[in-house]
Amino acid sequence: MREADERLKALFAADEPPATDPAFSAAVMEAVLRREFVAELALLAGAAAVGALTLWAVWPALAPAVEAVSEAVAPLAATLALAIGTIFLLRGPRRAPAPAES
């Protein structure tokens, strides 16, 4: 009976998953997160460039209106910008990275 157990153990050993390598898993996750970071950075840089070009194109038409309204609205706009920035900073990251599978 022991010989049959040994043969079955040898047969099933071929189907066992390989041992995990923590260093390899960390390197793969680093590469994945780096690729996601670069893609998100490129998207944000593109959006900022489009916004800057749009503002540059319409600024001659907006300048007189901004000058007329700026004295009354500037303190309120600064307060709102500070409040919105604080809320976004305190909220933390948009999403957590996916957990590594082991």
Give the model confidence (pLDDT) of 4-15 as tens digits: 778 878 777 777
Read off the amino acid at residue 1: M
DSSP-derived secondary structure for 62-99? HHHHHHHHHHHHHHHHHHHHHHHHHHHHHH--SSPPPP
Give the model confidence (pLDDT) of 9-51 as tens digits: 877 777 766 778 888 889 999 999 999 999 999 999 999 999 9
Give the model confidence (pLDDT) of 66-78 as tens digits: 888 888 888 898 9
Write down the pLDDT at residue 73. Answer: 87
In the structure, how many helices (H) and strands (E) does the chain have?
Answer: 2, 0
Sign of the dihedral through C-alpha 42, 47, 52, 57: positive
Q: pTM of this prediction?
A: 0.48
Domain boundaries, the chain: 21-91
Question: What Cα–Cα distance (Å) separates residue 68 from each residue in 40, 55, 57, 77?
Answer: 38, 18, 20, 15
